[in-house]
Amino acid sequence: MKSVEQYRNQKVLVLGLAKSGMNAARLLHKLGAFVTVNDKKDFDNNPDAQELLSDGIKVITGGHPLSLLDEDFKVVVKNPGIPYTNPIVAGALKKHIPVITEVELASQILEGELIGVTGTNGKTTTTTLISLMLNHRTNAGKAYVAGNIGVPASAVAQKALPEDTMVTELSSFMLCGIQTLHPHIAVLTNIYSTHLDYHGSRANYVKAKMRITMNQTPDDYFVVNWDSEEWRELSKQSHAQVVPFSRQGNSEAGAYEKDGQLYYQDELIMAAKDIKIPGDHNVENALAAIAVAKLQQVPTAGIVQVLKTFSGVRHRTQYVETAEGRLFYNDSKATNIVATEMALKGFSQPVVLLAGGLDRGNTFEKLAPALKDHVKAMIVFGETAQKVADAGKLAGIEKIEFSENCETAVPVAWKLSAPGDVIMLSPACASWDQYPNFEIRGDRYIKAIEKVTGKAEEK
């Protein structure tokens, strides 16, 4: 990693733990900073805080005391999920103390190349596809995934060599806290409306996403979905070379689909139907990854091998198993309407849909057309159960059952299904009303499948 002296003998506050906070605190400690970690969880039930204290790092737990702002901190490194309305964050900014996220810290020490991926949907799949493709390069270093994909960027940046590449999934929350982060290739998969409770408006959300390209130069590349006029217009904000990708054939300057075939410029790559993971949205993800891979001189054979064999990221339209002719899919990461809509459109078979979760105040009428075209039955749960059911009724779905949660919904789905059907958890909602995160929701769904079918998850 790069030798960084800017934090040596400086007081730094790490606000919020979890993976990003733990790794940021350890890295700053290694860089010679005087680190204070503040986490709202009480100390006795906070093994992360206990571990950091044993490493000689100062920890303050059980809340966010405003008295912390009396300390002469040079910078605050905050957990991405902590909003800017948090009194400590707002107070730090008022005092002109920089507030960054862990990915900014990681970028400062990274010796290798940075590729950044953002967007509302498809970030994790695209990030994974890119890394797999880059590892088919000859005479090149290793490609690592990092960031919002669940791997702390600061941990990866410490081990990446100058010839390596860090392919980093960047959420809007993370991008709000960058200053100098500079991806050589930035990818925008799409932008829809979500996380408005955090950002306050769609305009702020879009502005956060576009921060991925704010430090790029004409020597860099901005890979953009060309299938929306809005996204094409947004690309004009970038100083980088714009490389489009289009499932609808709106441009042949980058990666695109035409007559069922995938191309990069004038080179035929493969047939779209040969991509292993289903759905038009995954064709878009594949095109984005193809564009990056070609910019990085990945052989076409390596690109094709990845797309023909990659079976999907866990919790993202993940194939689980087949039992008595029923195909089970885990799409727990579908935390908004568009994600569920895209997942449904990926199947020609009748779908028994499990949906519902955290109520953010929106309704689900926009999901009705996809429900009408693809869903034969629904099991709804969580805070939004009635709202999701209302969308199902609007779509003419006759079989709609209410259940306590996604686990209790599985045996109900089994009874409502028939051989040849797809049974899919695709909630269209966040998980926080009933589960700590979408991963735990998906894992418990898979356990419920195993209980009903008597079969273990296929891996």
What superfamily in CATH does domain 11-99 come from? NAD(P)-binding Rossmann-like Domain (3.40.50.720)
Question: Is 309 annotated among the ligand-binding residues?
Answer: no
Q: For a pLDDT cut of 90, what percent of the chain falls above it?
A: 90
Between CA 314 and CA 457 the distance in angstroms is 12
pLDDT band at 49 (very low <50, low <70, confident <90, very high): very high
Q: Give the per-residue pLDDT at 316.
A: 85
Domain boundaries, the chain: 11-99, 103-309, 318-452
Question: Is 119 annotated among the ligand-binding residues?
Answer: yes
- 282-321 pLDDT, tens digit per residue, is 999 999 999 999 999 999 999 999 999 998 888 888 889 9
Question: How far is CA 217 from its chain centroid?
Answer: 25
- 213-254 pLDDT, tens digit per residue, is 999 999 999 999 999 999 999 999 999 999 999 999 999 999
Q: Give the per-residue pLDDT at 312.
A: 81
Here the tokens at position 422 are: 């797809």
pLDDT band at 384 (very low <50, low <70, confident <90, very high): very high
Q: Give the per-residue pLDDT at 314.
A: 82
Q: Count other C-beta atoms under 10 Å from residue 203's C-beta.
A: 9
Question: Is 122 annotated among the ligand-binding residues?
Answer: yes
Here the tokens at position 358 are: 């955290």
Q: Give the per-residue pLDDT at 18.
A: 87
pLDDT surpasses 90 at 21: yes
Phi-psi region of 82 (alpha: psi -120 to 50; beta: other; left: phi over 0): beta
389 and 427 Cβ atoms separated by less than 8 Å = no
The mean of the pLDDT values for the chain is 95
CATH architecture of 103-309: 3-Layer(aba) Sandwich (3.40)
pLDDT surpasses 60 at 458: no
Question: Which of 79, 33, 72 has the alpha carbon at shortest distance from 56?
Answer: 33
**Confidence (pTM):** 0.81
Radius of gyration, alpha carbons of the chain: 23
- 132-187 pLDDT, tens digit per residue, is 999 999 889 999 999 998 899 999 999 999 999 999 999 999 999 999 999 999 99
Q: Which residues contact residue 48 at a Cβ distance below 8 angstroms, ignoring those fewer than 6 apart?
A: 17, 18, 21, 22, 39
Q: Give the per-residue pLDDT at 264.
A: 98
Question: Is 148 annotated among the ligand-binding residues?
Answer: no
- 399-442 pLDDT, tens digit per residue, is 999 999 999 999 999 999 999 999 999 999 999 999 999 999 99
174 and 126 Cβ atoms separated by less than 8 Å = no
Mention the CATH class of domain 318-452.
alpha beta
Q: Give the per-residue pLDDT at 459.
A: 52
Here the tokens at position 379 are: 């099991």
Question: Is 217 annotated among the ligand-binding residues?
Answer: no
Q: For a pLDDT cut of 70, what percent of the chain falls above it?
A: 99
Question: Is 85 annotated among the ligand-binding residues?
Answer: no
122 and 281 Cβ atoms separated by less than 8 Å = yes
328 and 449 Cβ atoms separated by less than 8 Å = yes
SS3 labels along the chain: CCCCCCCCCCEEEEECCHHHHHHHHHHHHHCCCEEEEEECCCHHHCHHHHHHHHCCCEEEECCCCHHHHHCCCCEEEECCCCCCCCHHHHHHHHCCCCEECHHHHHHHHCCCEEEEEECCCCHHHHHHHHHHHHCCCCCCCCEEEEECCCECHHHHHHHCCCCCEEEEECCHHHHCCCCCCCCCEEEECCCCCCCHHHHCCHHHHHHHHHHHHCCCCCCCEEEEECCCHHHHHHHHHCCCEEEEEECCCCCCCCEEEECCEEEECCEEEEEHHHCCCCCHHHHHHHHHHHHHHHHCCCCHHHHHHHHHHCCCCCCCCEEEEEECCEEEEECCCCCCHHHHHHHHHCCCCCEEEEECCCCCCCCCHHHHHHHHHHEEEEEECCCCHHHHHHHHHHCCCCEEEECCCHHHHHHHHHHHCCCCCEEEECCCCCCCCCCCCHHHHHHHHHHHHHHHHCCCCCC
Between CA 224 and CA 288 the distance in angstroms is 8
Question: Which of 269, 332, 279 has the alpha carbon at shortest distance from 305?
Answer: 269
Question: Is 125 annotated among the ligand-binding residues?
Answer: yes
Here the tokens at position 456 are: 């273990």
Q: Give the per-residue pLDDT at 76.
A: 98
Question: Which of 57, 31, 35 has the alpha carbon at shortest distance from 46?
Answer: 57
Between CA 15 and CA 223 the distance in angstroms is 33
Phi-psi region of 62 (alpha: psi -120 to 50; beta: other; left: phi over 0): left
- 116-137 pLDDT, tens digit per residue, is 999 998 999 999 999 999 999 9
